[in-house]
Structure 1
Amino acid sequence: MQALIVDDELNNIENLSFLLGKYCPETTVAAKARNAEEARKYIGELHPDLVFLDIQMPGENGFDLLKSLPSYSFELIFVTGYDKFGIQAIKFSAIDYLLKPIDYQELKLAVGRAEEKYLQKRQNVQLENLMKMVQQNQQRTDHRIALPSAKETRFVRTTQIIRCEAENNYTIFYLENSEKILVSRPMFEYDELLADYGFIRCHNSHLVNKTFVRSWIKEDSGYLLMEDGVQVPISRLKKDFIKQALK
Structure 2
Amino acid sequence: MKALLIDDEQPNLENLQALLAAYCPQVEVCGTALNAETATNRLHVLQPDLVFLDIQMPQQNGFDWLRSLPAYDFEVIFVTAYDQFAIQALRFAAVDYLLKPIAIDELQSAVERARQQRQLKEQNQLLQNLMHFLKAGQPPEEPRIALATAKETRFVKTSEIIRCESSNNYTMFYLLDGEALLVCKPIFGYDDLLKNYGFVRCHQSHLVNKQFIRSWKKEFGDFLVLTDGSEVPISRAKKEDLKKALRLS
Task: Tell me whether the two structures share a fold, i.e. TM-score over 0.5.
Answer: yes
- Aligned mates of 1:64, 1:91 — CA distance in 2: 15
SS of the residue corresponding to residue 128 of structure 1 reads: helix
> 1:40: which partner in 2?
40
Q: Residues 68-87 of structure 1 correspond to what in structure 2 (within 5 A)?
A: 68-82=68-82, 84=84, 86-87=85-86
CA distance in structure 2 between the partners assigned to 1:103 and 1:111 by the alignment: 12
Q: What residue identity is the alignment partner of 1:111? A: V
> Offset of 1:72 from its aligned partner?
1.5
Indicate the larger mover: 6-15 or 86-95. 86-95
Residue 89 of structure 1: how far off its partner (Å): 1.2
Secondary structure of the corresponding residue to residue 67 of structure 1: helix
Alpha-carbon deviation of 1:153? 7.2
Task: Please report the RMSD computed on the Cα atoms of aligned residues, expressed in angstroms.
Answer: 2.7
Give 1:130 deviation, angstroms. Answer: 1.6
**Could you tell me which residue of structure 1 aligns to residue 59 of structure 2?**
59
Alignment of 1:138-177 (within 5 A): 146-148=145-147, 150=149, 151-152=152-153
> Are the equivalent residues in 2 in contact too, given 1:122–1:153 (CA < 8 A)?
no
Offset, 1:134: 2.3
Aligned to 2:22: 22
**Structure 2 matches for 1:55-204, cutoff 5 A?**
55-82=55-82, 84=84, 86-92=85-91, 95=94, 96-137=96-137, 146-148=145-147, 150=149, 151-152=152-153
Aligned-partner residue type, residue 131 of structure 1: M
Deviations 1:194-221 (A, max 9, x none): xxxxxxxxxxxxxxxxxxxxxxxxxxxx
Identity among equivalent pairs (%): 46
Q: CA deviation at 1:135?
A: 2.6
Number of residue pairs matched by the alignment? 159
The structure-2 alpha-carbon separation of the partners of 1:2 and 1:185, relative to structure 1 and needing over 3 Å to count, comes to farther
SS at match of 2:8: coil
C-alpha separation in 2, matches of 1:186 and 1:145 = 13
1:91 deviates by: 3.8
Structure 1: gaps spanning 5 or more residues: 155-183, 189-247
Give the whole-Å Cα distance in 2 for the aligned partners of 1:140 and 1:127. 12
Paired letter, 1:10: Q
Q: Summarize the Cα distance change of 1:91–1:148 in structure 2 as closer, same or farther, 3 Å threshold.
A: closer
Q: Distance in 1 between matches of 2:176 and 2:44?
A: 29
The superposition leaves residues 91-148 of structure 1 with CA deviations (integer Å, 9 ceiling, x where unpaired) of: 455531000000010000000000000011111111111222223136978x885554
In the alignment, is the contact (CA less than 8 A) between 2:78 and 2:98 conserved in 1? yes
C-alpha distance in 2 between matches for 1:43 and 1:27: 16
2:65 and 2:92 map into 1 onto residues whose CA distance is 17
User: Is the Cα–Cα contact under 8 Å of residues 75 and 114 in structure 1 kept in the other structure?
Assistant: yes
Describe the shift of the 1:153–1:137 C-alpha distance in structure 2 as closer, same or farther (beyond 3 A): farther
Hey, what's the Cα distance between the residues in 1 that align with 2:13 and 2:93? 24
Task: Report deviation, 1:43.
Answer: 1.1
Q: Structure 1 residues 139 and 34, CA, compared in 2 at 3 Å: closer, same or farther? A: same
Amino acid at match of 2:86: I
SS at match of 1:113: helix
1:118–1:147 Cα change, 3 Å: closer
Larger Rg: 1
1:39 shift after superposition: 0.7
User: Normalization by structure 1: what TM-score?
Assistant: 0.57
> Secondary structure in 2 aligned to 1:8?
coil
Q: Classify 1:133/1:185 alpha carbon distance in 2 versus 1 (closer, same or farther; 3 Å).
A: farther
Please list every run of 5 or more consecutive structure 2 residues that lacks an aligned counterpart in the other structure. 156-172, 178-249
